Amino acid sequence: MRILGIDPGYGITGFGLIEGERNQFRLVNCGAITTPAGMDFSARLEIIYNDMQELLKVAKPDAVAIEELFFGQNVTTGIGVAQSRGVILLAIRQAGLEVTSYKPMQVKQAVVGYGKATKHQVMDMTKRILNLSQVPKPDDAADAVAIALCHARSATSLLANIK
């Protein structure tokens, strides 16, 4: 099963593609969709949407997982991320794929085994689970890989059915 994890953002949207079968996972690809800071916001959303459409065509995932939004202290940033997440979800649905959302705490629980794990602990476990020599870069891509792993571990019954 090919799982695409997405960490939404409007400056940087991380993605991580893994393959898994019977609790064995490997990283296929990861990276980020980026947009220039000074650009008109609607143009940034268009770049994210178009790049996400292309990523979905190339990656050919069986499943897509995306992080749910967490509104911290900066609501203005959260609104921009929400708009980015919206165009990402639209691209996924138009590709005919289902999408599952995970809260940050669920990702930490699935990857580390502790819902209040630190970012460093999540990245270290992601590296260990996938037997990588280093943590994926940028951080947004590493987060997206962890989201994909979360889905893989949450969908174990589906992976057991893949032959």
**Given 3-state DSSP classes, what are the helix, strand and coil percentages for the chain, each rounded to the nearest 5?**
50, 20, 30
Strands 24-34, 12-21: pairing kind: antiparallel
Alpha carbon distance 67, 112 (integer Å): 16
Q: For CA atoms 100, 53, 134, 20, give the dihedral sign.
A: positive
Residue positions annotated with a catalytic role: 7, 67, 140
